[in-house]
Amino acid sequence: MPLATPPAPHLTRTRAAVTATGLWRAYGSGEAQVVALRDVSVEFASGAFTAIMGPSGSGKSTLMHCLAGLDTTDRGTVNIGDATITGLGDKALTRLRRDKIGFIFQQFNLLPTLTAEENIQLPASIAGAKADPEWLRRVIDTLDLRDRLTHKPTELSGGQQQRVACARALATRPEVVFADEPTGNLDTRSSGEVLRFLRKSVDDFGQTIVMVTHDPSAAAYADRVVFLADGQIVHDLREPTADTVIDTMRGFENRVPLAGEAR
Amino acid sequence: MLRATFKGMASRKARLVLTSLAVVLGTMFVAAAMILTATMEKSVTGVIADAFTGVDAVVTSAEDPAAAQGNTPAATLIPAAVLDTVRGVDGVEAADGDVSGQVNAIGDDGKLVGAFAPTIGFNWNDQSTGYNEIREGRGPEAENEVIVSGQFVTDSGLGLGDTVTAYSYSADRADYEIVGVFGLGGDRDSLAGETQMGFTTTEAQRLLTEGENAYMTIYVEGDDVSTDAIADAVGADYRVQTGDEASEEAAEGFAVVADVMGYIFLGFGLVAVFVSVFLIINTFTIIVAQRQRELALLRAIGAARGQVVASVLAEAAVIGVLASILGLGLGVLLGWGLASLVSSTAMGGLPVQLQVPATALWALAVGIGVTVLSALVPAVKASGVPPVAAMREAVNPPKPLRGITIAGATVTAVGAVLVALGLTDNLGGLGLTGFLAGVGIAFVGITLLTPILSKPLVGLLGAVMSWSFSGRLGKLNAGRNPRRTAITASALMIAVALVTGIATLVSSFKATTEELTDQNLNSDLIVMGQQGANIPTFAPETLAEIKALPDVAAVGDLYGEFFGAEVDGRPTALFASEDLPTSLDIYSGTVAEGSVADLPDDGLVVNESAAADRDLALGDTVPVTFADGETAELRIAAILDDSLLTDGWWVAPAQIEHFTVPKPMQAYIQVADGADVGAVEDQVDDILADEPEVSVANNADFVDQQTSQLDTLLASVQVLLALAIIIAIIGVVNTLVLSVLERTRELGLLRAIGMTRGQARRMITVESVIICLFGAVLGIAVGIGLGWTVQQALEEEGLTSFALPWGLIVGYLVAAVAVGLLAAIAPAARAAKLNVLNAIAYE
């Protein structure tokens, strides 16, 4: 049980929650072809909080979509836990996303017709099940959503909505949570709340989180930052702070001045 | 600005095509109605004109032809002497007298030939071959010879050389040898489905003029003949027309059939147009909502409000024009097809001459006008989009429903008042118009009320569907935009309301008939014929034979005089029974005052309200004129309580001889206790073997016979529902496609977090079914209300029972579910196929 043994993820890399090996992904064909991922191999440790950073068009979103089974790969394999997801059909992928993966998007995370609680229960409801009530209670309390449960999304602030999305992502205790710019639409204070929760869920619950962001201060909450440019991993930073992230980005920009040329 | 509009239209092809379809259907039916009417009129006129070819003048009696209704043409006969006079007029080259009227011929099966269109008997003379063509044999030369029309051969199963029995209201049966078969001009079997028999003039007069040497019409030939000269010669008792005038007059009578058909289709078309209005409003509301940011941008960069309105209206105008032209084109085809169908089935293969009247262009105007006017509301709304909306995320908060609900309640009330006034005859001669207008207005009002009704109803209907999670989401989606759900459901609501209303009336009528038969009619078997142009009768001796059957307890009989009798100077129907006390007993009639036993020959029996209507009391005397001209002072011997089956004026059996047809029309047989009704029915059937006009039926069959025509009516009304269903499907598809578009990101999210394609499909399907069921439930409720209102209004006219057509109601609900499933197919597939990545990235 992850609760009983809070791991020190950056030290004990017991096993990988998500593994990508030799990923290639290109869009279009001929002259117009854009290669989004070039031979990317990366592991995301279980119980760790990893940020993926990179300039626009670097392939960071594509990488996340491929890892999460939302997009297909041209070459290479992706494993979630022990399962290889490359080559799975839509039905199997859908079930995998439902059972093994949690999602937090930048916006439009919630169904407007459902209450906060129903939104949190959504993945379980789709599966025709109920989330573990004890676990749910802890997540809701940690996110301080107890008195917002009956509210509709339109009655919640942006930060509250994103916290509901976090609760939903964690409700089924997925193998991994993918967060795509989760704070992109939030003010500084709400951003802090969401990021502190993500950090906390890694530290306290042993949750694995992969977050795409372009914000160095958000990346600083992670255990590790993977930098992408031009479809390739160009740097791997451990124990980041906002400053080291900014420095890395700056240095990385200086070192690779032709980053945009491939486009 | 306009260029932006048209570019936008190109990108919304599918939705525009669907919307156009509704306009096309409406225009098509309206145009087809106009074309059917004009084409039939032209075709009939053409045929009749052919028949009148060579006829230069026509002489008829100056008496109102209405006086010749029924069986008695006596007043309108032209004596043979007049024919001689006409022949002597300058310029008359030839003149012949025509005798024609209804005869009864007994076919191969022992029953009357041509049950629906009666057999016409006429005198075959030199003029007959002018238009008719002898196909086989020859014309009649002896009194026992007859030439028959092609249709007669088809209907009777008899042919050249066979013997046929025929009789008329005044002449007894005689046998005739078929010596010839003729066809009408253009090698057709009949003019309009009728059967014809040509006799010698003397025989025709024996059958149709009670043997008098007289004619109904004189046809005159002569190129230089003057109608005035003939008129001077024959005097004021006769009417003289030119051949063309007579031809036109004759054509008018035939065109009535086409007119009725035309009105029915016009009705269908107008309902389709009415339903389309909602569809168009909805489509443009949707388009405007989708273009909100684009319109705001246009406003921000300087487009005036008027330009925005114009841009939306221009789109509507393009749709209206294209769809209406297409509808008109299809309407021409449909009208032509229908005219051909009517001609071949009901008019004996009448050659169709397609006519597109100028009035058909009205369909065009209606189509364009309705489209543009329906788009006006969304267009004005579009112009209200503030420029700043371009800069922010489009949010359409649900609008409060208070205003629309108050408006709906007001309009519904106005409609209801009009319906009530129309039904209670408080609008003078405008009763029907008021009623129909009231129904139309009430529909608009109820449509405005549907959004507020949609909340509880959709919740209720949805609760049934919520067994699965995707079903629950579908239900929530259906309740999301009450206005849109309501307006989408309205198309179905109106159609279902109309058919339910009519079905309710039909079932109420059936229930009333059953109740009458079960409770008021104390008989087990009924002898009567199908109502044709002639009233079917049978020989009086038959009554005695039936009474003599060992298992028959009592027989009630009914003689009737419907034309030509007057009571106190007013045309009045008279009844008589050989045994009035027994008959009243069987019809549940009760005597209020006086006595019906031993009714004296000058006795008159009448029901209370009819007596009160003419200020008559027991013992009063009234002058009565019979059809044969006999007059008598009759004394009121008894007054009956009002009762549906016995209301009217009853005379003594002695007066029956003065009736036009002194034969019984109906007999009601009471079978002795313990006797087998079926056995008695067989015995009566044997007695009736030689009675071609009537047959025996038990009470249940009788009710079926009485109501079978209503079933046909109901079936044809269901066609209307089918039409509206097509439009409703379009509307639902339209709304669903929009919902899928609008909720692309939601669908993407759901798919991302694990909703399967099947679940997505189910979600959309449930939304669709709920919308359709909502429309059907509302329509059924409104239809029942409508049916009930009319039934209440007709209660005094005898529609005493109110009954719901349960089978049909269940059928409509099932149909609604089917429509929902059907309409959901394409949008659900679209939702299921959604590319998750694109959906999440959807702008």
Encode pLDDT of A166-207 as tens digits.
Answer: 999 999 889 999 998 898 888 889 899 999 999 999 998 899
**Distance to chain B for A207, nearest Cα, Å:** 17
Cα separations in angstroms, A47 against A220, A223, B107: 17, 10, 98
- Those of residues 194-253 in A touching chain B at CB distance below 8 A are none
End-to-end CA distance of chain A: 46
Chain A neighbours among B 479-508 (CB < 8 Å)?
Answer: 479-480
Cα–Cα distance, A237 to A140 (Å, whole number): 32
Could you tell me if B265 and B36 are in contact, meaning their C-beta atoms sit under 8 angstroms apart? yes
Question: Residue A51: its pLDDT value, please?
Answer: 94
Q: Which of B470, B473, B836 sits opposite A70 (nearest CB)?
A: B836
Inter-chain residue contact A128 with B469, CB threshold 8 Å: yes
Helix (H) or strand (E) segment spanning residue B528: strand B525-528
Question: How does residue A6 score in pLDDT terms, banded at 50, 70 and 90?
Answer: very low
A128 at the B interface (CB within 8 A)?
yes
Bridge partners for B176 per DSSP? B164
Residues B488, B492, B493, B494, CA torsion sign = positive
> Quick one: tokens of B186?
């253009």
Does this model's pTM top 0.95? no
Q: Is B165 helix (H, G, I), strand (E, B) or coil?
A: strand
Mean predicted lDDT score pLDDT of chain A: 84
Instruction: Identify the residue with better confidence: A32 or B757.
Output: B757
Cβ of residue B836 closer than 8 Å to a chain A Cβ = yes
**pLDDT tens, position by position, B637-674:** 999 998 878 888 999 998 988 888 888 988 999 998 88
> Largest alpha-carbon pair distance within chain A?
55
Q: Could you tell me the pLDDT band of residue A4, with boundaries at 50, 70 and 90?
A: very low
The DSSP 8-state label assigned to residue B833 in this structure reads H
Supply the DSSP string of B220-267, one letter for each residue. EE-TT--HHHHHHHH-TTEEEEEHHHHHHHHHHHHHHHHHHHHHHHHH
Retrieve residue B415's tokens: 């409609």
Above 70 in pLDDT, residue A236?
yes
Q: Return the residue of B nearest to A168 by Cα.
A: B753
Q: What gap in Å lies between CA B103 and CA B119, rounded to an integer? A: 6
The pLDDT score that the predictor gives to residue B4 is 64
Burial of B393 (0-12, 13-18, 19+ CB in 10 A): exposed
Inform me whether the C-beta atom of residue B469 falls under 8 Å from chain A C-beta atoms.
yes
Q: Are strands A75-80 and A83-84 parallel, antiparallel or unpaired?
A: antiparallel
Q: Under a CB-based contact definition with an 8 Å cutoff, are residues B650 and B580 in contact? A: yes
pLDDT-above-70 percentage for chain A: 90
Which residues of chain B fall short of a pLDDT of 70?
1-12, 14-15, 18, 64-75, 115-117, 253-258, 261, 345-350, 388-399, 425-431, 530-534, 720, 841-843
Beta carbons of A225 and A204 less than 8 angstroms apart: no
Mutate to test the interface with B, among A71, A85, A111 (most CBs of B within 10 A): A111
Residue B573: partners with Cβ closer than 8 Å, 6 or more residues away: B560, B561, B562, B565, B648, B649
Task: For residue B396, give the nearest of B408, B407, B406, B382 by alpha carbon.
Answer: B382
- State the average pLDDT over residues A98-122: 87
Query: Which ranges constitute the DSSP H helices of A24-179?
Result: 60-67, 90-100, 116-126, 133-142, 158-171
Torsion over CA: B627, B628, B630, B634 (sign): negative
Cβ contact, residue pair B480, A113, below 8 Å: yes
> Is A111 in CB contact (< 8 Å) with chain B?
yes
Tell me whether A152 touches chain B (CB under 8 Å): no
- Per the listing, tokens 């977050």 go with A211
Helix, strand, coil fractions of chain A, as percent rounded to 5:
40, 25, 40
Query: DSSP letter at B112?
Result: B
Which amino acid belongs to residue B300?
A: A
- C-beta separation of B350 from B47 below 8 A: yes
Would the CB atoms of B755 and A94 count as touching at under 8 Å?
yes
**What count of other Cβ atoms lies within 10 Å of the Cβ of residue A17?**
24
- Predicted confidence at residue B426, as pLDDT, reads 63
Half-sphere exposure at residue B584, Cβ-oriented, CA atoms within 13 angstroms: 26
Q: Provide the β-strand partners of residue A211.
A: A51, A179
Which stretches of B35-161 are assigned E, i.e. beta strand?
Answer: 57-61, 78-79, 94-98, 100-106, 119-123, 133-137, 145-149
- Cβ-defined contact of B469 to A95 (cutoff 8 Å): no
Euclidean distance between CA atoms B214 and B211, whole angstroms: 8
Side chain identity, residue A209: I
Cα separation, B216 vs A48, whole angstroms:
110
Instruction: Report the distance separating Cα B415 and Cα B583, nearest Å.
Output: 46
DSSP B334-389: HHHHHHHHHHHHHSSSPPP-----GGGHHHHHHHHHHHHHHHHHHHHHHHT--GGG
Provide the phi-psi class of B342: left if phi over 0, else alpha when psi is between -120 and 50, else beta: alpha
Bridge pairing between strands B574-576 and B649-651: parallel
CB contact under 8 A, A103 and B752: yes
Quick check: A90 and B749 CB within 8 A? no
Chain segment A41-63, per-residue pLDDT in tens:
999 999 999 999 988 888 888 89
Closest alpha carbon to B54 in B96, B89, B86: B96
User: In terms of CATH architecture, what is A16-255?
Assistant: 3-Layer(aba) Sandwich (3.40)
pLDDT at residue B473, as a whole number: 85
Paired tokens of B352: 């169709």
Q: Pick left, alpha or beta for residue B594 (phi over 0 → left; psi -120 to 50 → alpha; otherwise beta).
A: left
When scoring A70, A88, A104, A166 by the number of chain B Cβ atoms within 10 A, the one with the most, hence best to mutate, is A70
Cβ–Cβ of B759/A123 closer than 8 Å?
Answer: no
A22 three-class SS: strand
Chain B residues touching A68 at Cβ < 8 A: 752
The position carrying tokens 């307890």 is B553
| Distance from C-alpha of B305 to C-alpha of B308, rounded to nearest angstrom | 5
DSSP labels, B755-769: --HHHHHHHHHHHHH
The residues spanned by each domain of chain A are 16-255
Is the Cβ–Cβ distance between A106 and A185 less than 8 Å? yes
Please give the pLDDT value at position B141. Answer: 92
B753 and A99 within 8 Å at the Cβ level: the answer is no
Helix, strand or coil for residue A118?
helix
Q: How far apart are the first and last CA of chain B?
A: 24
Q: What is the DSSP letter of B102?
A: E
**CB < 8 Å to A80, chain B:** none
Burial annotation B578-592 (CB, 10 A radius, 16+ → b, else e): bbbbbbbbbbbbebe
In which element (H, E) is residue B806 found? helix B806-833
CB neighbour burial string for B204-239, b if at least 16 within 10 angstroms, e if fewer: bbbbbbbeeebbbbbbbbbeebbbebbbebbeeebb
d(CA B15, CA B24): 14
- B100 within 8 A of B216, measured Cβ to Cβ: yes
Predicted local confidence at residue B530, as pLDDT: 63
Distance between CA atoms of residues B347 and B354, nearest Å: 15
Which candidate from B745, B754, B837 shows the least CB-CB separation from A126?
B754
Contacts 24+ apart (CB under 8 A), B228-232: B229/B89, B229/B90, B229/B91, B230/B57, B230/B59, B230/B86, B230/B89, B230/B92
Q: Round to whole Å and give the CA distance between A118 and A141.
A: 16
Tokens of B518: 């079960």
